[in-house]
Amino acid sequence: MIKLLTPDITFCRRLVFVCLWAVFCLAILEQPVVAAERHSKYARLLYNDKELLRDFNDKIYLGSKLRRMIRKKNIVTVEDEVIAKIDLIIEKAEVVLNMFPDNMKITVVLLPNKSAVARVYKQNYGKNVSHIAYYSLSQDTIYISVRNARLRVLAHEVGHAVVDHYFKVRPPYNMHELMAQFTEKHISD
């Protein structure tokens, strides 16, 4: 006689729950695909291809004063140039704000466009936005659209990062924003 195996209902419910939980966790934890990572004194740079990195480098035009400062760096590759630019912008933002936090280290994630920035923001905060860049206080990370990248955009987000690292107690959002705008305005001085 063949005995038919009938699945245990409790087991099936648990299996369904585990599968749904796994799908949910994967959706929440989904982050931009990162193919390359570079480190500098102040930053960890994440990007998914060299073309995106080259485009970002072209978009971050420093102007004559900042360009003179970067010439002193040992730049061989486009990665070296981007990392040097990010470190220089962080150092200049600290001078502009007259804030020099200890152990300043942030992550900069290059995303292709503002739709990708919006997707990451939605994943992190559950809200729909149309930002071209943002600084995540909880992750110490700047997410920036390469298509919309400019020196002042990056400087604004770096301003948020410097302020965040400087104060032991975070200032109110409006103060945070004013200091980031001040950084953006005076980055080329």
- Give tens-digit pLDDT for 147-184: 999 999 999 999 999 999 999 999 999 999 999 999 99
pLDDT of residue 27 exceeding 50: no
> If DSSP codes are grouped into helix, strand and coil, which group holds residue 64?
helix
Dump pLDDT digits (tens) for 101-137. 998 999 999 999 999 999 999 999 999 999 999 999 9
What secondary structure does DSSP assign to 6-57, as a single string? ---HHHHHHHHHHHHHHHHHHHHH------EEEE-SSEEEEES-HHHHHHHH
- Indicate the residue type of 162: V
Cα dist. 174→18, 28, 136, 177 in Å?
43, 29, 16, 5
Long-range contacts of 118-122 (CB under 8 A, 24+ apart): 120/31, 120/32
Please tell me the pTM assigned to this model. Answer: 0.81
Phi and psi torsions of 6, nearest 5°: -105, 130
Q: Domains in the chain, please, with CATH?
A: 36-186 (3.40.30)
| First-residue to last-residue Cα distance in the chain | 89
Give the separation between CA 48 and CA 55, rounded to whole angstroms.
12
Sequence-separated (6 or more) residues with CB below 8 Å from residue 152: 184, 185, 187
- Mean pLDDT score of the chain: 88
Contact 156, 177 (CB under 8 A): no
